[in-house]
């Protein structure tokens, strides 16, 4: 069993702190004293890890994966306590397990390529921004641009799985190209905007302008929206095999997506025709 590193929050600092260097494999390879001496960017200054956290190590593994394919035998990092000031948690993580027992700041899972990141509280803006692989779970709410792209970039999420149990902010999955995004609550305006490919599921209500500029990909809706975009047209039937495979792949995900059955195919709409789009909206509610 791999070593478990725990960082227990002492107190919130004044500036925001960049946690990009706090990765499971790297920290589990260091002794406690070396971790405490590490410095992290904090505004225009730097701060020591030991000033922000109480650092400890053990061989007892918590349940970080939440039933995913990640292994508890991998290196594990636990951030214990609310840290909404801590940005880039799990950024560029390639493997291992990272558990936040509280809330996290912006850009959690930024360009993450592997492993399992689990946030028990809320996450800030740009959660899973440009994510490429692995699994990220947010038990609370997430801010704007989850699974989206940074300003000026052409691609958002390109792989992996993002699950948000609560609500998501505006521009969910903007410019997403590949992967799976599931939201158990509501999503803000421009959800699945400029979607290139991938699957986005929303169990609750949608804000205005959803599927704006959608080119390909799938938007799954558990509830019928107040109105459908005028640039989408009903797409007919004949996709029962695809629906059966999709339902099977969602069997271990959050409700209501895990409760759907292949025997009840959804209503299908295609678009966005304003951009010659070939995406689809599936109404399973």
| The predicted structure's pLDDT at residue 69 | 40
pLDDT in tens, 119-139: 999 999 999 999 999 999 999
**pLDDT for residue 154 is more than 60:** yes
Alpha-carbon distance 85 to 200, whole Å? 28
Per-residue pLDDT at 67 exceeds 50: no
Mean pLDDT of 257-281: 92
What is the rounded distance in angstroms from the CA atom of residue 192 to the CA atom of residue 180? 12
Local structure of residue 96 (DSSP, 8 states): S
E strand or H helix at 37: helix 32-37
pLDDT value at residue 231:
96
Q: What pLDDT is attached to residue 72? A: 59
Domains of the chain (ranges plus CATH)? 76-283 (2.160.20.60)
CB 103 within 8 A of CB 125: no
Residue-level pLDDT at 68 = 38
∠ CA 50-55-61, nearest 5°, is: 155
Confidence of residue 70 (pLDDT cuts 50, 70, 90): very low
Other residues' Cβ atoms within 10 Å of the Cβ of residue 4 = 23
pTM of model > 0.75: yes
Q: Specify whether the CB–CB gap between 182 and 254 falls below 8 A.
A: yes
Q: Kindly state the helix (H) or strand (E) to which residue 218 belongs, with its residue range.
A: strand 218-221
């Amino acid at each position: 069993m791999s070593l478990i590193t725990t960082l227990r929050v002492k107190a919130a600092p004044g500036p925001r702190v960049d946690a990009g260097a706090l990765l499971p494999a790297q920290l589990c390879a260091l002794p406690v004293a070396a971790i405490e001496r590490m410095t992290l960017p904090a505004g225009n200054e730097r701060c020591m890890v030991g000033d922000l956290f109480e650092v400890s190590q053990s061989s007892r593994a918590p349940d970080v994966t939440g039933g995913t394919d990640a292994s508890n035998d991998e290196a594990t990092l636990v951030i214990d306590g609310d840290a909404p000031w801590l940005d880039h948690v799990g950024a560029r993580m390639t493997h291992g397990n990272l558990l936040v027992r509280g809330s996290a700041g912006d850009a959690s899972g930024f360009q993450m390529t592997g492993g399992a990141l689990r946030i028990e509280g809320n996450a800030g803006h740009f959660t899973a921004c440009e994510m490429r692989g692995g699994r990220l779970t947010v038990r609370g709410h997430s801010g704007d641009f989850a699974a989206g792209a940074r300003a000026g970039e052409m691609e958002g999420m390109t792989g992996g799985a993002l699950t948000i149990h609560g609500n998501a902010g505006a521009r969910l999955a903007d410019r997403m190209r590949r992967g799976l995004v599931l939201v158990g609550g509501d999503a803000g305006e421009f959800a699945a905007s400029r979607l290139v490919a991938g699957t986005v599921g929303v169990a609750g209500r949608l804000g205005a302008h959803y599927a704006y500029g959608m080119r390909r990909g799938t938007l799954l809706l558990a509830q019928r929206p107040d109105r459908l975009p005028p640039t989408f047209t009903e797409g007919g039937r004949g996709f029962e095999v695809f629906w059966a495979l999709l339902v099977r792949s969602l069997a271990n995900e959050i409700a209501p997506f895990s409760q759907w059955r292949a025997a009840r195919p959804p209503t299908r709409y295609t678009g966005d025709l304003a951009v010659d789009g070939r995406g689809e909206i599936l109404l399973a509610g």
